[in-house]
Amino acid sequence: MAAGAQAQGFFEGSHGTLTLRNYYLDRDYQDDGAKSEAREWAQGFILKLQSGFTPGPVGFGLDVTGLLGVKLDSSPDRSGTELLPVSASSGRAADEYSRLGLTGKIKVDKSLVQAGDLTLALPSALSSPSRLLPQTFRGTYLQSNQIDGLTLHTGYADRIAKRNSTNYEAMTVASPNGRFNGRATTSHMAFVGGDYAASPALTLKAHYMEVADLYEQGYLGALHKTPAGPGTLSTDVRAFFSDENGSADAGNVDNQHLSLQFAYGLGGNRFTLGYAHQLGDTATPYISGTELMGISETTMSSDYLNAKERMWQAIHDYDFAAAGIPGLSSRLRYVRGDHIELAALGATDRKERELQWEMGYVIQSGPLRNVGLRVRQSFYRNDFPTGAAFRDENQTRVLVTYSLPIW
């Protein structure tokens, strides 16, 4: 009983943080679509109040998350960046939007149960952090580290709060380019999985997720790191296996998504080469509003998950701390996909490509210490038919962040 007692109390172990996010997003479309641009600027406020746990072998706690987004610049002719909610009738973005998330939690030894508003980081369901405010789920989540080196995950969610939404709604499958029936909803999703650190150099992962009456998805992954000459070589293998589930309201789902990626770190440099191959008759499914943890996860203009697609990428990351400038980092990335099939648009053997660069800096000292600035830009082109979801564009994002500890 004493071994399982919590070290700190409900109030003694609590802390609060206010994060400010100033976000500018500009999509400059390069095709002949009806809308020539989507450009908005907004300010986000993310307040997190996290309690400790009550004393004893079973500790109880409560987390509160308050989210507020404020429009700084937008108009109906250029709304739709997903920084802000947009009226379907007028195309006008809301002046502000907010939501409150409550998460109860119970801790027993090395196991934690959370219920309420959830942030998930699962291979098949990553709560999207890529807009003004984070996306969350409503449900229950158990994480356990009772066995050394092994983290077990299991849970259930019945609703999603999207990154530009004020409320929970039923989950659907993402359906750009008409891949699936995007109108079909699910009553819930359930998941189970484990991450095992077999050694300091090797981590193995196995996960399964069921999105009731839409699809089910298994995942196997391995990450290995080893010294290689003067640097470190990382090998990353990921595989998703997807089929329809229950009444298959999303339509046919038949996909095997396989990827292999190598990264070599040397000094401040990190060089990455990756390849992903889609097998089966359909694209890789994922829940609308979330992200799939594939190797194309942080691309800006496409998801590179189309049916039959074969994608490769080359990335160079540099940490300028190696050159005596701590806090400054950069990335240059080229991504290309081909053999793409867009069945709903009657297109086969199509191609897409993207050149992306970014720079980030966190101020290290002075009155603005810990203020972060990140600039990202991509140049995306494809040969998809008119009406496709992913359009030729030049995209720019500017993000300024600052986290202020309250106590």
- Considering the chain, what percentage of its residues have pLDDT values greater than 70? 98
Region 195-204 average pLDDT: 97
What is the per-residue pLDDT across 123-147, written as a single tens digit (0 to 9) for each? 999 999 999 999 999 999 999 999 9
CATH of domain 118-405: 2.40.160.10
Q: Closest by alpha carbon to 27, among 383, 324, 378?
A: 378
pLDDT at 108: 96
Mean pLDDT of the region 254-281: 97
Task: Give dist(CA 404, CA 364) in Å, integer.
Answer: 15
Closest CA to 263 of 274, 275, 249: 274
Poorest-confidence range of 63-67, 87-91, 220-224, 232-236? 87-91
Prediction pTM value = 0.93
Alpha-carbon span 277 to 149, nearest angstrom? 31
Paired strand residues for 315: 272, 333
Mean pLDDT of the chain: 95
Tokens representing 286 are 């994922």
Beta-bridge partners for 39: 26
Task: Evaluate whether 280 touches 255 at the Cβ level (below 8 Å).
Answer: yes
Pairing state of beta strands 111-118 and 121-122? unpaired
Answer yes or no: is pLDDT of 1 > 60.
Answer: no
Q: Where are the domains of the chain?
A: 118-405
Position 320 pLDDT exceeds 60: yes
CB 171, CB 190: distance < 8 Å: no
